[in-house]
Structure 1
Amino acid sequence: MLKERAFSAPGKALLAGGYLVLDPQYRSYVVALSARMHAVVAETKSSGENWFMVRIVSAQFNCDEWNYRVSHSSKYEISEINGRVNPFAERALEVMVNYCQPDVQKMVDLVIELFSDAGYHSEGDSLIKRNHFRQFRFHNRTITEVPKTGLGSSAGLVVVLTASLLYAFRSEFDATSDLDKSTVHNLAQVAHCQAQGKVGSGFDVAAAVFGSIIYQRFDPKLIENLPTDQPSIYAQSLRHIIDMQWEFTHDNITLPRGIRLMMGDVNSGSETTKLVAKVRAWYESNYPKSLGIYQEINEGNLRFIDGIEKLSTLSQQDPSRYERLLEAVESDSNTKEIPEIAQIEAAVNKIRSNLQVITSESGADVEPPAQTKLLNSCSNLKGVITGVVPGAGGHDAICLLLSDGTDIVKQTSNNDTFSCVAWLDLHQENFGLKEEAPLYYKGLR
């Protein structure tokens, strides 16, 4: 009997490293967010045939549902019996069965219920449902019709599905084990990249598994060389790659004490794959000038990371001075006289100015004018240290760094400049993938 289990994984905000994160030589700063994706996995009555079913349900989005039949002859065959398309769910399942090689005649049917915290999608006309432990927003539209805020919902989805299936196929799975987390990470990276039709940077998947991190990506050749068109050797190659020790950086970090982030949804969203394609085309056609711009951005990224680390050190070594620093930020004193804050502001300004050049030259809305205007207005608010359009940019939610005592909602209410922004109730999340109690999700369908 398969015991019901539940898993969750956080969203992300890439504060430094956009576009450069695709190259393993560059460091990036990724903050995991308290908005989490959730999955509850259980067995259902078996069909008793030479196949088994995996039913994936997302009741929050107009009762979305995908039903996959898994069979095996010379290779594993996966088909959605109603012709519905969900590339992330399908690739996660496909990668998992090829890696774990379950016996289809002995497998029970599975049901996996998905939930996503508020913050991943614009609220719109959604309704809140709650029990004693959790609350979620329920929409009257399908998941593809509700605008996303850019917090990494697809990466979180693939991670919790991978964890759920790894448990279903290998019941000894332990979400606290470093080895099992690494296995989930590697499997989810492969599935997520295949679903996107490209080898992405992987920072979003890494944050979903490991939490807030300094990240340098793995060698993309690990995934590029998988023989997906050769079923006879694909599973063997996949197992070999997944079980390898991947060379990449995922050092855990946390924001300095007394400083938090604030995400602001502009109710639009962007297609990251299209932005990346445009920027890559611009980079190749403008080389070596484009390399110089990337190097300028990298200098800003490293100065930003160094500035954050200096604040963390100061908070520990000289708490009195650090408290005065936070008071100065909140009172809107001249922060240019505070070296650590001035360094972070200058670093972000350098990053943003170069991203604005890429925007104007590539046609990709990396930092579109509307976001530039909004961020500049935010920088004039009391308590705000700096702000960025995280990740690949575009019209996803903006991200601000500010002091704990800053009330952004109060400062911006009834101000037309900020009428397009819905401030999200989120905070930094230090934990990545973790196990939850299935009881938390009862009565939420």
Structure 2
Amino acid sequence: MFGQVFDKLDAYFGRAFLLSRLVPWLLCAVANVLLACLEFPAWRAYVSSLFVGIDTDRTVSLLMALLGVAVLAYVTSPLVQFTTAFLEAPRMPQWLSSIVGVTHALRCDALDAKERLWLVRSREADELPGVLAGLQADRIIGCRIGKLTQPKAIDLAAADIGKLLDARRILQPIGLAQIQAASAGLSKALRGNCADKTRFSGASDQAAAARLQGLLDTVRDTLIPYAKADAKQRDSRTVAERYQRFARELRAPTQLGNDAAALRSYCETRYGIDFDFFWPRFLLVAQKDAKLGEALASAKIQLDFSILALSLSTLTVGAWTVFLAFAGTSIGTVLAVVGLGPLVVYIWLAIVHVAYSGFADMVQSAIDLNRFQVLVMLRHPLPVSTDDEARCWAAAQGLTLFDQHRPNVAFRHPATP
């Protein structure tokens, strides 16, 4: 039943309007009705009466209310663009951006420092095979002795390696310095004791030699592979996070502004594409691919839904706070607005950033795979190399945006039948 109703509404209004405009307004209307019921007993009685039995008047009232919400959602559609521009803060005054942008500048600096750290750790991981080679050489020296001369050294080495195993179990990073420190004790144990149990006849000596060999195997098969893989993975994730959240050079005073700048920077630094020139033309091209257009539309709907929900939540909390400050009478309403309101706004703000990250990932993938379709539709020749691609986009953007007719580009038109 609901699916049929939704299909009918989709046919009349479109899925984008229903999900990203109407649904947030319906949620906002329900929230305001609930707050009004807490604050005004008369309103609570009226709302209760609407759900007692079914008659024509009640049905008409509900339908008129839904129609009013739908009209309001349609009229206020530009609120999404306004909120997006406000959150990106492109024209924020310098004094205000200096205040609100400090946190994001510190986060960017922290990511830069983290990126440098894990780059060093990743390069250090390439030295771990040398540590293992040294231990293998120490084992040969110990086997030449053919006996256990320093059994206590085995216990000390086991304790050091056990600490690294504990760090691995809780997914802590293990660096070159830590493995070198633990290997120093193991090196001493290998030099002073034979790790080949076949050299011994006594059960206790065989157990000690096997234990020493097990420590070496642990370093070789467990700790060193983990340290290398962990360092490489953390380095890759830090670089990806850095360039997903911030542009290469520019900084914005808000998180959404940095998200948008990172998306623009992705196009400019990888391909030499001006995003503002490229994106509206790419959307027209993407409509020819049903699957690509559907994927981009779904990501945009999720983003617009979260932005509008954030806008309406903020307006609702602000309006009710002002009202309660001057004319509020219900403690329950005050607790709901003051206690839950900021939390709801914060949650929606976090959802906006998550939705924008998903949207940006989808856009980047679409650009990677389909960007040349824009040049094809503009009748520009396709590039033959990465350097040539930057020149092609510069020529297309210069002609379209700045009326630059040099260099002269020979257009390529589709063959006529």
* TM bucket, shorter chain: under 0.3
Give 1 or 2: higher strand fraction.
1
The higher relative CO (CA closer than 8 Å, separation ≥ 6) is in 1
TM-score by length of 2: 0.18
TM-score by length of 1: 0.17
Larger radius of gyration: 2
